[in-house]
Structures are given as C-alpha cells and as structure tokens.
C-alpha cells in the first residue's frame, strides 16, 4: 500500500545546542509542523545585530508499521524565508555532529523563478537570497508553480498557518488529516496574499542538471622548441572545477596534467599552468618543450550553471514540459535521500557457529542505529548488549529473540530460531549493526549582521516519497 504522509515523522537529534556536539543520533522528540521555534530557536536582537549561523539536525522517520519502504525520498527547501535570514539543507548521517561538518557537506536551497520558462526549454534562472548555495552537475532540480497569488486572506491569519478556501477567502483551518495538508482547498498561508496549495492549475517537475563532458579538444600544437602556450580557450564554458585533464607528449612519452579545483594545472614538465573556469582560457608553461607536431589536448566537463550576482542560471538535461511564470513559481535543488528503510550490516562471528542475518526481522519503529554484541554464556544461551543502547536482555538459540525498545514499546529486532546454525560455545560472540528507517538532514540558518526584525518568518520544506 505504500507509506502515507501520516506515517512520516520528523524528529530532533539527541543533542540540540549551538556547539560542536550538536546533532548525533535520532531522538524521540517529534518536530510539529507549522510550529514556531519547534526546531530553530528564536533569533534574538543581539544575534540579529551581530549576525549568526545556526545549525539544526532532524530525522525523517518512516513509521509505517507494515515495514513498507519509503521509496526514492527527496527533500528540498522550496520557498525561501521572507525575512532577511536564509536557510539551507544538506544530507547528514545517523551519528554525525556539528563539529563533523566540513566542505564535503553540500548545502542547497531554493529561490524564486527569475525569468519565465517556455515549455521545451532546457535552462532555468533562479533568484536565490545569496550566491553561496551549492549547485552542481547531475543533481536533481525541482520546479513548482503551486503558489496562488493575489488571494484574499481572512483577517488575523498569520503567515505559515494552515488555511482553507471557503469559496470567498482563505480562513484559518487545519486539514482533516495529514494526507490532506496543502492539497486544495487546504494550503499554507505564506503572507503577502500568497498561498501554497497543490491545485489543478499548478505544475511541478523534477529535472536533472546537465553534466556534459568533452574529450580531445585541441588547444595547442607543439613545435619541439616552444615552451610557453597562451591565448587559447576551451569551446564550452564555464568549466567544472577538478574536471580538466591536459594531455601532451614530450620525448615520445605521453603525459596528463590535471587542474586542482582552484584553477591551477600541474603535471610532469609543467612549470606553471592555469585554467580560467569562467572563460575557459588555458595557459601553460613547460620546462621541456612538447614534441613537434603533437597536439596539446584537453578533456573537461562543462559546468551546468553560472552566477550573476544572486541569480543562478542552470542548464537541465530534460526539456521543461510546461510553461512557468515568475509570479507563482519557485525552484530548488533537492537532497536525494533514496529509500528510507531498516537494514543490517557488519556481521562478525567469533567461533565456528553460523548465523543467517537475512532472517533477522527489523522494525520501522523500533530499530535504531547501534552495534549489537551477542555473547554466549553456554552452547545455547547468550546475552545481548548494544554499544549505545546497553544491555537489552538474554536469549537462547532454540527460541525467537526480540528485545523491546522501551522508548516505543516494540522490538529493536527479532532473531528467529532458524537463523542459528553450526556449533556455538561459551565465550563465542556474534556482532552486527542495525540501521533505522530514518534519514538525517542538516538545516542551516544564516542571519546576516544587521538583519531587521520580522515576526512572521518561516520556510517551506517539501519531502517527496514514492
């Protein structure tokens, strides 16, 4: 039957602070929708004046009790904050903390459509709130025009509250159930007479950013004596950093030089080399001249995007199926999460006994991220201890073993009797790791110094589940 919206829960991380320890494992503290300060703390006046960057980790928890998989999940921040701050989102791990975040974490976001799109086009221009959002080739881009503008909103309805279209105006009213939220005639008031609601006039598409590579483009031709080569550029710009490979021949020996991601080309017999990623210009000085009548070629990948201030123009693989107007359309780069499901890994056995881990039954609600050690106290009996959960009881191989996760009242896992084989002895151990039906996300709020007060602030995150 699949996973319903009501079976998806958002939970805080175990540690919620503004320190390096912020984050870690999933807690059981749910984050209610449309509730101020449910995840991010209130930004104080001193923080607005000085500026602050704050991170929070949350988990998307698949609580389907029939053990259904939440398939092909993606998450994206579709609607940017109407205030002077800005929000970003990135993938996390089951246990990472704020101190682990480095430049490998790619924080993406969304913005308003900057130029109208005609069906059949393969380029989109997006107005972001800053030019530091992560954009890259071969990523998922979402475009959505389910924003109703020029709406009549009932007096007293605040921004980001649930609303209902009663035929004459939008009134403050919750949807009857989670699956009806933001499905017309229900929606979310965004302020400024704008409502987000999936309606028959709106469109949404998921596309892929371009990732086009070129090989063996000739830059220069060696003369046997020339060592300085300047003035030539690649045919397709801009160039993706870390994608350029320059090939040349010296003394009949082929060589390859590469760029370092900062525009510097290095390789054998190269005294200096540069590539301008924006213009594609490649300048190289050799310490030994390339052979006469041999080509100096380049392989590279064209970067799918270019910035002009805060506006980013992105090329797509697919053609847009629909027309889109700037008045009611927003776009975002998505975090591709994949399937949210339980799993087991890292089986390790000391002794000659056998264990079929494929027979272990995990639970969407009860299974956690932990490493479990089962230590035999006889040929048939064992104790079970989780590295993080601690002791969860004892069992015997002739019966099913299903320790209970007291936080939710259901099993961490279940080991049936037929999973065991061979001969076990006192002191033997079985170890394995379980992974929960939950996916971690990092959200980042950046408040620039001098940001003005704005009481009805918020952002709109969309989670898509197959």
pLDDT of residue 48 exceeding 70, the answer is yes
**Measuring CA to CA, how many Å separate 64 from each of 1, 4, 67, 227?**
10, 8, 6, 66
CA nearest neighbour of 389 among 403, 375, 409: 403
Q: How far apart are CA 148 and CA 191, in angstroms?
A: 11
Q: What is the pLDDT of residue 389?
A: 97
Average pLDDT, integer, range 397-423: 98
Q: Is 419 helix (H, G, I), strand (E, B) or coil?
A: helix
Comparing 9-23, 32-46, 344-358, the range with the smallest average pLDDT is 32-46
Q: How far apart are CA 445 and CA 53, in angstroms?
A: 6
Q: How many Cα neighbours within 13 Å face the side chain of 406? A: 5
- The answer for residues whose C-beta is within 8 angstroms of residue 164's C-beta and 6 or more apart is 170, 171, 172, 173, 175, 185, 186, 187
Q: What is the pLDDT of residue 2?
A: 83
DSSP element (H, E) containing 49: helix 45-50
Average pLDDT, integer, range 296-307: 98
34 pLDDT band (50/70/90 cuts)?
A: confident
**Measuring CA to CA, how many Å separate 119 from each of 37, 111, 206?**
40, 20, 14
Q: What is the dihedral of CA 183, 189, 194, 196, to 10 degrees?
A: -30
- The answer for residues whose C-beta is within 8 angstroms of residue 337's C-beta and 6 or more apart is 60, 73, 74, 75, 91, 439, 441
Q: How far apart are CA 440 and CA 10, in angstroms?
A: 10
Q: What is the pLDDT of residue 33?
A: 87
Average pLDDT, integer, range 56-61: 98
The DSSP bridge pattern shows strands 23-30 and 404-405 to be: unpaired
Residue for token pair 């030019």 = 131
395-410 as b/e, with b when 16 or more CB fall inside 10 Å? bebeeebbbebeeeee
Q: How many Cα neighbours within 13 Å face the side chain of 187? A: 26
Beta carbons of 30 and 95 less than 8 angstroms apart: no
pLDDT tens sequence across 104-144: 999 999 999 999 999 999 999 999 999 999 999 999 999 99
The percentage of the chain sitting over the pLDDT mark of 90, rounded to a whole number, equals 97
pLDDT of residue 212 exceeding 70, the answer is yes
pLDDT tens sequence across 236-291: 999 999 999 999 999 999 999 999 999 999 999 999 999 999 999 999 999 999 99
pLDDT of residue 1 exceeding 70, the answer is no
Tokens of 22: 């912020």
Average pLDDT, integer, range 442-451: 98
Q: What is the pLDDT of residue 348?
A: 98
pLDDT tens sequence across 321-347: 999 999 999 999 999 999 999 999 999
Tokens of 354: 């056998």
Q: How far apart are CA 194 and CA 152, in angstroms?
A: 9
458 pLDDT band (50/70/90 cuts)?
A: very high
Q: How far apart are CA 443 and CA 446, in angstroms?
A: 10
**Count of CB atoms within 10 A of residue 371's CB?**
16
CA nearest neighbour of 69 among 414, 337, 370: 337
Q: What is the pLDDT of residue 466?
A: 86
**DSSP code string of 324-389:** B-GGG-EEEEPEEEEEE--EEEEEEEESS-EE-GGGPEE-TTT--SEEEEEEESSSSEEEEEETTT
Averaged pLDDT of the chain: 97
């Amino acid at each position: 039957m699949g996973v319903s919206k009501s079976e998806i829960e958002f939970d805080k991380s175990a540690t919620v602070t503004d320190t390096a320890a912020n984050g870690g494992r999933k807690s059981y503290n749910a984050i209610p929708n449309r509730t101020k300060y449910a995840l991010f703390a209130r930004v104080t006046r001193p923080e607005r004046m000085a500026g602050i960057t704050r991170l929070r980790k949350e988990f998307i928890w698949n609580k389907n009790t029939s053990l259904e998989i939440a398939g092909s999940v993606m998450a994206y921040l579709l609607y940017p904050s109407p205030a002077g701050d800005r929000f970003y989102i990135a993938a996390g791990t089951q246990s990472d903390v704020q101190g682990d975040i480095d430049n490998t974490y790619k924080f993406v976001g969304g913005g308003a459509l900057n130029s109208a799109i005609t069906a059949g086009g393969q380029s989109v221009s997006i107005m972001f709130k800053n030019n530091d959002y992560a954009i890259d080739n071969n990523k998922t881009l979402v475009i959505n025009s389910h924003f109703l503008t020029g709406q009549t909103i009932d007096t007293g309805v605040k921004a980001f509250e649930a609303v209902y279209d009663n035929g004459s105006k939008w009134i403050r009213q919750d949807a009857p159930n989670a699956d009806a939220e933001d499905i017309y005639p229900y929606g979310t008031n965004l302020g400024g007479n704008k409502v987000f609601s999936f309606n028959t006039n709106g469109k949404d598409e998921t596309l892929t950013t371009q990732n086009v590579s070129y090989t063996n483009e000739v830059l220069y031709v060696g003369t046997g004596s020339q060592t300085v080569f300047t003035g030539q550029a690649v045919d397709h710009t801009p160039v993706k950093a870390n994608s350029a490979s320059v090939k040349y021949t010296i003394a009949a020996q082929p060589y390859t030089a590469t760029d370092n991601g900062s525009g510097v080309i290095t390789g054998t017999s190269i005294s200096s080399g540069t590539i301008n990623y924006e213009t594609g210009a490649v300048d190289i000085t050799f310490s030994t001249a390339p052979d006469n009548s041999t080509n100096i070629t380049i392989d590279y990948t064209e970067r799918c995007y270019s910035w002009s201030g805060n506006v980013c123009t992105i090329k797509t693989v697919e053609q847009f199926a629909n027309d889109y107007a700037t008045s009611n359309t927003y776009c975002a780069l998505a975090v591709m999460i994949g399937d949210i499901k339980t799993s087991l890994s890292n089986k390790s056995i000391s002794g000659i006994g056998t264990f079929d881990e494929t027979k272990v039954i995990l639970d969407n609600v009860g299974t956690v991220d932990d490493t479990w050690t089962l230590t035999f106290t006889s040929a048939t009996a064992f104790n079970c201890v989780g590295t993080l959960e601690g002791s969860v009881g004892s069992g015997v191989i002739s019966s099913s073993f299903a320790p209970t996760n007291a936080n939710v009242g259901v099993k961490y896992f279940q080991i049936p009797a037929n999973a065991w084989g061979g001969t076990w002895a006192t002191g033997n151990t079985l170890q394995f790791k379980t992974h929960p039906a939950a996916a971690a996300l990092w959200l980042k709020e950046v408040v620039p110094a001098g940001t003005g007060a704005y009481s009805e602030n918020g952002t709109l995150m969309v989670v898509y589940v197959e």
